[in-house]
Structure 1
Amino acid sequence: MKILHTADWHVGKVLKGRPRMDEHRAVLGELVERVWHEDVDMVIVAGDLFDTSSPTPEAQSLVMRTLLDLHEQGERDVVVLAGNHDNAHLFDAYRPVLGALGIHVVGTFRRPDQGGALEIQARSGEDVRLAVLPFLSQRYVVRAAEALGGTAAEHNRLYADRFAQLTAALTKGFAGGTVNLVTSHGTMPGGAFGGGEREAQSIFSYYFEPTAFPVSTQYAALGHLHRRQQIPGPCPIWYSGSPIAVDFGEENNTPGALLIDVEPDRPARVTEVMLARAVQLKTVHGTLEELSALPDDGAWLRVIVEEKPRAGLAELVREILPNALDVRVDERFRPVSATRAKGTTPGAARSPRELFRDYLSATGKDDDRVTSLFDRLYDEETN
């Protein structure tokens, strides 16, 4: 049978004040066309369909229309699970209506006999066993009493152990002669971040191990990390990546999805599917003269100006490059505070990173993990 694995659509995303709904319409339309062209038997959407837990009516309309187009009036099975950006309870509210149409939706964790372990006969004839684990919050997986004590490493171990226990319960029905699949949304150690993931739900206590998936699994379809990649493990484990670059930290990612060929008792064969309709994100550097010589290729731009700052500089850049969403001055050209230069006020021009590290040091709370989390959150807010 053939499966299309996709995730991390982030419909409703706004980049530096610029709505991207038209891009999402284009790229999801391209995804539907590829599904029809390849004539796949099943589509798995592994979470983060929306960018926020309160999606607009326009965002919901586009997602619903896309799911219906993928399902194509019963021509193929479609399985959808909630990611950390999604509202799991909203997904559960969709479940009865979409379920009546033949689209499988899982918002919150479900027991095997209540929709967590699907048994499907593919139109190609194979019997499919599919374990579905939507994003699991730390609060859900680790009991409150346990979360009050212990270290971050102990919490991580608890989360990973509980995730493995839940996975074992959902995969208990895996057998020879069936196509055995797992889909989930979360972080695996060793995975490369794409740039736009929500870091606070990607590190420390949110890791789970590849060994959670039994060797009888033909394919594990994951969402959350936006860079398409395979994770070493006892079975084929893949992140599909996002079909659209969510922010400038992902400008080097290749948007796409994964096409899976699988049959009972054999590991899946995986082919990357490229999608080209999303607008490219690019970072460009230069003086105003150099920037004015750049060709207009339609990309959204982050512009690093290699000149001294002055009033109206950003407006001049946007006159030259109308697609400039983010304009900043190269740090080499930023003025240094005179008081800092004289050494009279050491903290006057220090960066937020430096100030945070100074605070941790002064309070005796130095911790590389905390500074790493701060750096990632700071990058998310400023990039």
Structure 2
Amino acid sequence: MKLLHTSDWHLGRALYGRKRNDEFSQFLDWLLDTISSRAIDVLLIAGDIFDTTTPSNWAQNLYYQFLTRIQQTGCRHVVITAGNHDSASFLEAPAGILKTMNIHVIGSIDDNIHKEIITIKGTDETPQLIICAVPYLRERDIRSASPGETVDEKSAKLIQGIQNHYDEVVSHALQLKTVQRLHVPIIALGHLFAAGGQSVKGDGVRELYVGSLAHVPASIFPDEIDYLALGHLHSSQRVAGDESRRYCGSPLPVSFAEGKKAKSVIQIECTSNIESIAELEVPCFQRLESLEGDLQQLLEKMTHLRAQNCSIWLEIKYTGEELIPHLQETLREAVAGSKLEILRILNTRIINSVLSSETSQETLEELSVEEVFARCLAQNDISGEQQNELTLRFNQAMEALQQNDQG
């Protein structure tokens, strides 16, 4: 049986105000072709399908068109779990209809642990795989708050809650194997931040709780999990160096800092156990370049890129000492009439502190909510335990806003 692990599509996400509809469409076209050409049996999507809990009509249409088109590829099952960016109730709303198409959607946990356990059968109805489809575990679902808790105590409770849930769902999967005398792999999904995981500044990875709170150690996952398909971190990587515990990463670079990183999905082949795990590189659908230097250096680099006559989105970092009048106009004139497009200009000459405007034209639209909050903390010299407490309250408020449709 062949599986494909992907996550963190973030459909609808823009880059400094520039819509990326073409890239998302091209990625999903490529994914469908890959599923078909490689005869993939099961597609795993480990959260953050959408970038917000209220996706645009365009993003919704693209998602449902994909689920319709995948029926023609030969892929027999799709397993979708919610991430922290997703609305669990929105994803689960059509779950009953989608299940008739062998598309299994798990948005949140509840008292029915069995809904997270999916038995994948072959064409002869013989069980071939058990999937523990664990979605993003929200703080309110896995721990109870106590007055006067320290940040360390909160962290310990969160990690214990996550471990308890994985122990429970895997225990039920093992019982199923025993009762039915199955010799099949157990695949688990998750959407979390594993301790030691690597992220890139500006890559859009949102802290799930507060600071390093609930950076989950690899040791909490039961050994009986044959492959752990994770989402949340945008760079492809192994958890604690373990070949069978993986982040596939986002299929598109979500920032200029990721522009040079290879993107991938992961193919897993198994029979009674895991036989092979391989990364498949996702093509680059839109080239990103970050240029840095004084004005002369920037103009020379832009001239070189312009001569390549291909579509490139640019982030410009002016690091010269000279104060250049009309810097933005000068740079934009240099790309006029070409396939180069400047999305962001940072003028370090006029940055006096981390809270200063990154460019004379920087707007709130260019900053994430988390970046604005972080700047407010820094501006007021808030650090240590107080910073952790305020960040915890901020993240709780953000989660409540994002999930207010769940009641």
Q: TM-score normalised to the size of structure 2?
A: 0.78
Q: Corresponding residue for 1:334? A: 350
Q: Corresponding residue for 1:131? A: 132
Deviations, residues 155-188 of structure 1 (Å, cap 9, x unaligned): 1111111111111121122346112110011111
Task: Tell me how far apart the structure 1 counterparts of residues 121 and 40 of structure 2 sit (CA, whole Å).
Answer: 14
Displacement of 1:202 in angstroms is 7.2
Query: 3-state DSSP class of the match of 2:225?
Result: coil
Q: Corresponding residue for 1:271? A: 278
Matched, 1:303 2:304: no
Q: 1:325 aligns with which of 336, 343, 347?
A: 343
In 2 relative to 1, CA 292–360 (structure 1 residues): closer, same or farther, beyond 3 Å? closer
Displacement of 1:277 in angstroms is 3.9
Deviations, residues 31-82 of structure 1 (Å, cap 9, x unaligned): 1111111101100000101111100111011111122323437642100011
Task: Tell me how far apart the structure 2 counterparts of residues 8 and 300 of structure 1 sit (CA, whole Å).
Answer: 22
Task: Tell me how far apart the structure 1 counterparts of residues 210 and 380 of structure 2 sit (CA, whole Å).
Answer: 25
Q: Corresponding residue for 1:31? A: 31
Q: Corresponding residue for 1:340? A: none
Matched, 1:294 2:312: no
Unaligned runs of 5+ in 1: 338-351, 378-383
Q: 2:248 aligns with which of 237, 240, 247?
A: 240
Displacement of 1:268 in angstroms is 4.9
Matched, 1:212 2:220: yes
Deviations, residues 192-240 of structure 1 (Å, cap 9, x unaligned): 1142211354743333332332222110000000000011378710001
Task: Tell me how far apart the structure 1 counterparts of residues 314 and 250 of structure 2 sit (CA, whole Å).
Answer: 19
Q: Corresponding residue for 1:4? A: 4
Query: 3-state DSSP class of the match of 2:93?
Result: helix
Displacement of 1:311 in angstroms is 4.4
Q: Corresponding residue for 1:231? A: 239
Q: 1:251 aligns with which of 253, 259, 281?
A: 259
In 2 relative to 1, CA 336–140 (structure 1 residues): closer, same or farther, beyond 3 Å? closer
Matched, 1:183 2:189: yes
In 2 relative to 1, CA 368–31 (structure 1 residues): closer, same or farther, beyond 3 Å? farther
Give 1:276-287 correspondences, 5 Å limit.
276-286=283-293, 287=295
The answer as to whether partners of 2:128 and 2:271 remain within 8 angstroms in 1 is no
In 2 relative to 1, CA 112–229 (structure 1 residues): closer, same or farther, beyond 3 Å? farther
The answer as to whether partners of 2:79 and 2:103 remain within 8 angstroms in 1 is yes
Q: Partner letter of residue 222 of structure 2?
A: P
Query: 3-state DSSP class of the match of 2:148?
Result: coil
Q: TM-score normalised to the size of structure 1?
A: 0.83
In 2 relative to 1, CA 14–281 (structure 1 residues): closer, same or farther, beyond 3 Å? same
Task: Tell me how far apart the structure 2 counterparts of residues 299 and 244 of structure 1 sit (CA, whole Å).
Answer: 15
Q: Partner letter of residue 86 of structure 1?
A: D
The answer as to whether partners of 2:120 and 2:128 remain within 8 angstroms in 1 is yes
In 2 relative to 1, CA 171–112 (structure 1 residues): closer, same or farther, beyond 3 Å? farther
In 2 relative to 1, CA 233–123 (structure 1 residues): closer, same or farther, beyond 3 Å? farther
Task: Tell me how far apart the structure 1 counterparts of residues 195 and 351 of structure 2 sit (CA, whole Å).
Answer: 41
In 2 relative to 1, CA 161–294 (structure 1 residues): closer, same or farther, beyond 3 Å? same
The answer as to whether partners of 1:141 and 1:162 remain within 8 angstroms in 2 is yes
Q: Partner letter of residue 169 of structure 1?
A: E
In 2 relative to 1, CA 305–30 (structure 1 residues): closer, same or farther, beyond 3 Å? same
The answer as to whether partners of 1:223 and 1:239 remain within 8 angstroms in 2 is yes
Task: Tell me how far apart the structure 2 counterparts of residues 367 and 306 of structure 1 sit (CA, whole Å).
Answer: 35
Deviations, residues 242-276 of structure 1 (Å, cap 9, x unaligned): 11001123223211211111222x34521111111
Q: Partner letter of residue 156 of structure 2?
A: R
More off after superposition, 319-328 vs 69-78: 69-78
Q: Corresponding residue for 2:399? A: none
In 2 relative to 1, CA 114–187 (structure 1 residues): closer, same or farther, beyond 3 Å? same
Displacement of 1:294 in angstroms is 2.5
Query: 3-state DSSP class of the match of 1:184?
Result: strand
Q: Partner letter of residue 178 of structure 1?
A: V
Q: Corresponding residue for 1:95? A: 95
Q: Corresponding residue for 2:357? A: none
Task: Tell me how far apart the structure 2 counterparts of residues 180 and 200 of structure 1 sit (CA, whole Å).
Answer: 26
